[in-house]
Amino acid sequence: MRALQIEELSGPDAVKVVDAPDPPATHFSTPGQGVLIDVKAAAVSFPDVLQSRGLYQFKPELPFVPGAEVSGVVVESSDASFSPGDRVAAMTLLGAMAERVAAPLAMTFHLPDELDFAEGAGLVLNYHTALFALKYRGRLAEGEWVLVHGAAGGGGTASLQVSKALGAKTIAVVSSDEKERVASEAGADHVVRSDADWKVEAKEISGGGVDVVLDPVGGDRFTDSLRSLREGGRAVVVGFTGGSIPEVKVNRLLLNNLEVVGAGWGAYVLSKPDFTRMLADELEEMIHAGHVRPIVGSRFPLEQAGDAMRLIEERGALGKVVLDVAE
Ligand SMILES: NC(=O)c1ccc[n+]([C@@H]2O[C@H](COP(=O)([O-])OP(=O)(O)OC[C@H]3O[C@@H](n4cnc5c(N)ncnc54)[C@H](OP(=O)(O)O)[C@@H]3O)[C@@H](O)[C@H]2O)c1
The string of pLDDT tens digits covering residues 25-79 is: 655 555 567 899 999 999 999 999 999 999 998 899 999 999 999 999 999 998 8
Please give the pLDDT value at position 24.
72
Class of the domain covering 126-266: alpha beta
- The minimum-distance atom of ligand 1 relative to the CA of 176 is 40
What residue spans define the domains of the chain?
A: 2-123+295-324, 126-266
Please give the pLDDT value at position 200.
98
List the strands of the sheet with 169-174, edge to edge.
Answer: 190-193, 169-174, 145-148, 210-215, 229-237, 259-262
What is the distance in A from the centroid of ligand 1 to the CA of 213?
14
Q: Find the angle CA(164)-CA(134)-CA(44) to the nearest 5 degrees.
A: 90
Q: Write the pLDDT tens digit of every residue in 181-215.
A: 999 999 999 999 999 999 999 999 999 999 999 99
- Start-to-end CA distance of the chain, whole Å, equals 15
Ligand 1, atom 43: closest residue by C-alpha: 153
Please give the pLDDT value at position 25.
62
Q: Write the pLDDT tens digit of every residue in 288-310.
A: 999 999 999 999 999 999 999 99
What proportions of the chain, in percent to the nearest 5, are helix, strand and coil? 35, 25, 40
| Identity of the residue numbered 244 | S
With the most atoms of ligand 1 within 8 angstroms of its CB, the residue from 159, 241, 296, 309 to mutate is 241
Please give the pLDDT value at position 250.
95
The whole-angstrom separation of Cα 58 and Cα 68 is 12
Please give the pLDDT value at position 137.
98
Q: What percentage of the chain has pLDDT greater than the value 70?
A: 98
Q: What percentage of the chain has pLDDT greater than the value 90?
A: 92
* Contact between residue 161 and residue 193 where contact means Cβ atoms under 8 Å apart: no
Nearest one of 158, 155, 198 to 174, comparing CA atoms: 198
CATH topology of domain 2-123+295-324: Quinone Oxidoreductase; Chain A, domain 1 (3.90.180)
Cβ neighbour number for residue 84 with a 10 Å cutoff: 11
What is the distance in A from the centroid of ligand 1 to the CA of 240?
7
Return the DSSP state at 98: B
